[in-house]
Structure 1
Amino acid sequence: MLFRLRRSRMVRALACTLAVPLAAAVLSACGTHGVSTTADGKTVLRYQGSTGTVTPFELAADLGYFAKTRLQWQGDTTSGPANIQAAATQQLEFGSAFNGAVVKLIAGGAPVTSVLSSYGADEQSYTGYFVRDDSGIATARDLIGKKVGVNTLGAHHEFITREWLHEQGLSDAEIARVQLVVLPPASTEEALRTGQIDVAALQGVFLETAVARGGIHTLYTDKNLFGQFDYGTYVFRNDFIQQHADAVGDFVQGTARAIRWLQVTPRDQVVARFADIIHKRGRNENTGLLKYYKSSGIPVPGAVIADKELQIWIDWLVRNHQLTAGKVAAKDIYTNKFNPYANGTYPPISGPGGEKVAK
């Protein structure tokens, strides 16, 4: 989720994002990437990261949880939809995005499968949609004709906003009059405070620092809308899963264990580990914002995927005439078979090595 600047009317939002027929066409035109291996026989997995943060799979590598794979950084991602399209078109081995974007990509013909939840909202970490204290905005109806700042189109911020407006009783025509403005997350708070936008979607460090400065409050949050919920997944291409099942299985088991490590490890130990990882990888990144870390944001032990986490967005797309009813079923677009917290390797609520943990 990083930094571009565009504007678009909400009515055009989904048409502008994830041009899945095009993605499918590009995929069919691509040759098969020659998968690399290390000298000791490990499968190389190309990925995109995020500046100043540590992903669960990067943590897994540092914790020594991978036995058959080696990660290879290919730069930082610009957005979830772009990240999974890069995976679908063989520029990367895997990617992560909001589940609504994953559904759209698969419905458009891209042969990928979700294998593990990648982010969500838990008790401490979530996405909040903020307004200024002096804005006079108190209800969904107050947003008609107003601007909402989001990090990209066709992803989490847009879907949550549109769903909240719908649940608050706005018609499709009224929702179309709420304008989405794409902003870099680092600039969104300033845009709100200077009146360039009326609502700011904030999460992570950007949420924490904005709240600390005062003068703003939440209008709605993803957590209040759906509760604690997994919102995104990691996807691999189907051909890669078939040809390199051991590598995919190794990635999933290691990343699931790293997520569980985050879920059960005291915050100060997590922050210290993150800082050490960032320093060791030598990308000239600032670790100062790690002090705002609160939690993994993933509420389900080991990031096991549930039908409802995909089906809810399938239903949303059908209701909004973006998907034909019956074309996609949640059970057909994900698998938990590699996840040790789902396949019987570990008890579902055990620790990162299968050990019993305190409740």
Structure 2
Amino acid sequence: MKSKRLISMVVSIVLAALFFSGCGGEKQTSSKKSGELQVLKTWSRKDCTAAPIIVADKLGYFKEQGLKIQYTGDTQPAQRLPSVLNGNNDFGDAHPNNLAIATEGGAKVKGVTRSIVEPPDSVTDTHLQHMWWISNKNGSIKTLADINKYPGKVKVGANSRNSCVDFLSDILFVKNNISLDKIEWIQMPDIEQVLSLKKGLIQIAVVHPPFYKSIEESGIGNILTTSRPIAGENGGTYLYYFSDKFIKQHPDEVAKFVVAVKKAERYINKSIPDEKERAKVNKWVSDAIGVPVSANHYYADDGVIKDKDIQQWIDGSKTSGALPKNAKVKVSDIVTHEFDKYGNLGSKPDYVVKE
């Protein structure tokens, strides 16, 4: 019943977004000329997804492809995908389960390339992993096993529901024989979880970069686990997506975007061992989002989407109850391989998409 209510709610949001935008059969004209540059619109980024867009902008990678990014202001998480459907924004980024839930509810969007992934084992800096699960070192939960011993429910912070936090936490708790009935989810932004953990309002914070710095500076952080051991590379999988309508009408612009953003992501990965270069990237992101940054995410060098990884996220949504067990959404409903050649390592550093 809970699953049906959730799907109904998603359908309502999607349909409302379409209705109020009047986005019927009209041609989507969201990509406009700015001089010789074509504009792609996206919401203003104040979180851990900002780095590739900022770096591609700073280093002129979008301009190389004839693109210009236009920020449209703050958009609440629940309204981001509808804003892409109604043309207020042209692209977004999300985990596969977010796209699966929306698609099951009737949304017509497709992931076009991979973004965030977990770093390989050769990258030992845990700041580059997708998430940390952290308890207060002065509290009673020192290890994952202590969760079962805690009196009553354990309050766990989550920046949003039916997202990466659910997907990875479900796997984590099952692996450690922790009943999901033991967990009470408390929704709040990552930055607020730090203070809440300190005050005892939650027992476990689940945070992303760049907010690790705040945890470390608080002096209370006890790392229970990080995300890579939970699901390997797939634990961080993030996709850039466009509406089906935009892809059909503006395939060249999507291709240009993929080339530019993947070039920026490879640049960020290469900056990791270089202290000065890494500090430069961190400062650019910090200045843009207004939060101290000690690390960004790690990104897929090869942007080609792996269907088996996407299926794991769909299955995880069914496990969590975010999708009904009989949901019909398939991998091919939420991703396209049309742009694979633009996101892989075969693209030359100076490659420019020709219309």
TM-score of the superposed pair, with normalisation by structure 2: 0.80
The alpha carbon displacement at 1:312 in A equals: 0.6
Corresponding residue SS for 2:116: strand
Q: Which amino acid in 2 is paired with 1:310?
A: I
For residues 198-217 of structure 1, what are the structure 2 equivalents within 5 Å? 198-217=203-222
Q: Using a 3 Å threshold, how does the CA distance of structure 1 residues 74 and 267 change in structure 2: closer, same or farther?
A: farther
- Report how many aligned residue pairs link the two structures: 328
Supply the distance in 2 between the matched residues of 1:41 and 1:31 (Cα, whole angstroms): 29
5+ residue gaps in structure 2?
none
Selected match of 1:141 from 129, 144, 148: 148
Q: Using a 3 Å threshold, how does the CA distance of structure 1 residues 211 and 115 change in structure 2: closer, same or farther?
A: same
Supply the distance in 1 between the matched residues of 2:215 and 2:3 (Cα, whole angstroms): 27
Q: Which amino acid in 2 is paired with 1:260?
A: R
Supply the distance in 1 between the matched residues of 2:222 and 2:345 (Cα, whole angstroms): 44
1:195 aligns with 2:200: yes
Tell which deviates more after alignment, 229-238 or 47-56: 47-56
Selected match of 1:101 from 82, 91, 98: 98
Supply the distance in 2 between the matched residues of 1:76 and 1:18 (Cα, whole angstroms): 26
> What does residue 330 of structure 1 align with?
331
Identical-residue share of aligned pairs (%): 21
Does the CA-based 8 Å contact 1:241-1:248 persist in structure 2? yes
Does the CA-based 8 Å contact 2:42-2:72 persist in structure 1? yes
5+ residue gaps in structure 1?
1-10, 355-359
Does the CA-based 8 Å contact 2:43-2:72 persist in structure 1? yes
The alpha carbon displacement at 1:340 in A equals: 4.2
> What does residue 259 of structure 1 align with?
265
The alpha carbon displacement at 1:177 in A equals: 4.2
The alpha carbon displacement at 1:157 in A equals: 1.7
Selected match of 1:245 from 248, 251, 265: 251
Q: Using a 3 Å threshold, how does the CA distance of structure 1 residues 352 and 217 change in structure 2: closer, same or farther?
A: farther
Does the CA-based 8 Å contact 1:302-1:341 persist in structure 2? no
Q: Using a 3 Å threshold, how does the CA distance of structure 1 residues 52 and 129 change in structure 2: closer, same or farther?
A: closer
CA RMSD of aligned residues (A): 3.1
> What does residue 58 of structure 2 align with?
62
TM-score of the superposed pair, with normalisation by structure 1: 0.80
> What does residue 72 of structure 2 align with?
74
Supply the distance in 2 between the matched residues of 1:326 and 1:184 (Cα, whole angstroms): 29
Residues 195-240 of structure 1: CA distance to partner in whole angstroms, max 9, x if unpaired? 1111111221322331344333122332120123342211100010
Residues 47-106 of structure 1: CA distance to partner in whole angstroms, max 9, x if unpaired? 013238743123223222232322110123443x54223212322111112221111111
For residues 15-30 of structure 1, what are the structure 2 equivalents within 5 Å? 19-29=9-19, 30=21
Corresponding residue SS for 1:301: coil
> What does residue 173 of structure 2 align with?
165
For residues 1-359 of structure 1, what are the structure 2 equivalents within 5 Å? 19-29=9-19, 30-32=21-23, 33-51=28-46, 54-66=50-62, 67-79=65-77, 81-122=78-119, 123=123, 124=125, 125-126=128-129, 127-137=131-141, 138=143, 139=145, 140-142=147-149, 145-170=153-178, 174-229=179-234, 230-265=236-271, 266-273=274-281, 275=283, 286=290, 289-290=292-293, 292-293=294-295, 295-298=296-299, 300-321=300-321, 322-325=323-326, 327-340=328-341, 345-346=346-347, 352-353=349-350
Supply the distance in 2 between the matched residues of 1:92 and 1:105 (Cα, whole angstroms): 16
Does the CA-based 8 Å contact 1:21-1:109 persist in structure 2? yes
Q: Using a 3 Å threshold, how does the CA distance of structure 1 residues 277 and 202 change in structure 2: closer, same or farther?
A: closer
Q: Using a 3 Å threshold, how does the CA distance of structure 1 residues 39 and 133 change in structure 2: closer, same or farther?
A: closer
Corresponding residue SS for 1:328: coil
The alpha carbon displacement at 1:121 in A equals: 2.7
Supply the distance in 2 between the matched residues of 1:206 and 1:343 (Cα, whole angstroms): 30
Corresponding residue SS for 2:200: coil
Does the CA-based 8 Å contact 2:304-2:344 persist in structure 1? no
The alpha carbon displacement at 1:246 in A equals: 0.8
Supply the distance in 1 between the matched residues of 2:337 and 2:267 (Cα, whole angstroms): 19
Supply the distance in 2 between the matched residues of 1:40 and 1:18 (Cα, whole angstroms): 43
Does the CA-based 8 Å contact 2:14-2:107 persist in structure 1? yes
Does the CA-based 8 Å contact 2:158-2:186 persist in structure 1? yes
Supply the distance in 2 between the matched residues of 1:62 and 1:328 (Cα, whole angstroms): 38
Tell which deviates more after alignment, 100-109 or 260-269: 260-269
Corresponding residue SS for 2:73: strand
Q: Using a 3 Å threshold, how does the CA distance of structure 1 residues 308 and 250 change in structure 2: closer, same or farther?
A: same
